[in-house]
Amino acid sequence: MRVEDALRLAAEADLDLVEVAPMAKPPVAKLMDFGKFKYEAAMKAREARKNQVNTVIKEIKLRPKIDPHDYGTKKGHVERFLKGGDKVKVTIMFRGREQSRPELGYRLLQRLAEDVIELGTVESAPKQDGRNMIMVLAPTKKKSEAKAEQRRARSAAATEGAHEAPEGATEAPEAAAPAAEPQAPESAQ
């Protein structure tokens, strides 16, 4: 089809003539609403960005001589990060004479890995790096799955909380409380 005929058809249909494949022999063109096409392409790109998952590595630092309660707190942080779908880098910092006992740090990292085995796996085994020993834990669930699960839990809690309103809660608060009587100001004598 000639270019003039295609332009005439586009003008009659109130559409744009868009060249789709300029390098093809003969070049390929299409009748379309170009503004609508650009808008839909932008919406697709925006949706793809929204569904994109960013891998975040959270870091927890420990010492070889850690108190059991402090260990429990740090383990709770690691569990929270893994439930959220984030990777966790666990670092044990050695100071002074502690550097001559790396097996203490290794045992501590192994214990932590065993404690969170249902939430994550060891991505990189404990290894000494100067004064620090490092291990990386990866979640068993993907971040997108974890986010979807959190959204479902939040929406379920919101609908459950709305159904459990007390019986008198629908009453207006002004009707429930007696009105305070205005007091006349005392005159100075």
Structure tokens at 49: 């960005």
Q: How many domains does the chain have?
A: 2
Q: Does any domain span residue 80?
A: yes
Question: What is the domain extent for residue 103?
Answer: 57-139
CATH of the domain at 27: 3.10.20.80
Q: Does any domain span residue 78?
A: yes
Among the listed ranges 1-15, 98-112, 171-185, which one has the minimum average pLDDT value?
171-185
Average confidence (pLDDT) over 157-180: 60
Q: What is the mean pLDDT of the chain?
A: 82
pLDDT of amino acid 50:
79
CA–CA distance, 180 with 169 (Å, rounded to integer): 21
Q: Does any domain span residue 20?
A: yes
CA–CA distance, 125 with 132 (Å, rounded to integer): 13
For the packed helices 102-115 and 68-83, what is the interaxial angle rounded to 10 degrees?
A: 50
- pLDDT tops 90 at residue 134: yes
CA–CA distance, 184 with 118 (Å, rounded to integer): 70
pLDDT of amino acid 183:
63
Average confidence (pLDDT) over 21-40: 86
Q: SS3 of 94, please?
A: coil
Nearest 5°: CA angle at 90, between 84 and 95?
155
Q: Does any domain span residue 73?
A: yes
Among the listed ranges 1-15, 96-110, 173-187, which one has the minimum average pLDDT value?
173-187
CA–CA distance, 27 with 2 (Å, rounded to integer): 11
- Which residue bears the tokens 């404990």? 126
Q: Indicate the DSSP class of residue 72.
A: H
Higher per-residue confidence, 92 vs 11: 92
By C-alpha distance, which of 161, 105, 170, 159 is closest to 131?
105
Q: Does any domain span residue 88?
A: yes
- Asked if residues 107 and 83 have their Cβ atoms less than 8 Å apart, the reply is no
Residue 103 CA to its chain's centroid (Å): 36
CATH of the domain at 63: 3.30.110.10
Residues 87 and 135 in one domain: yes
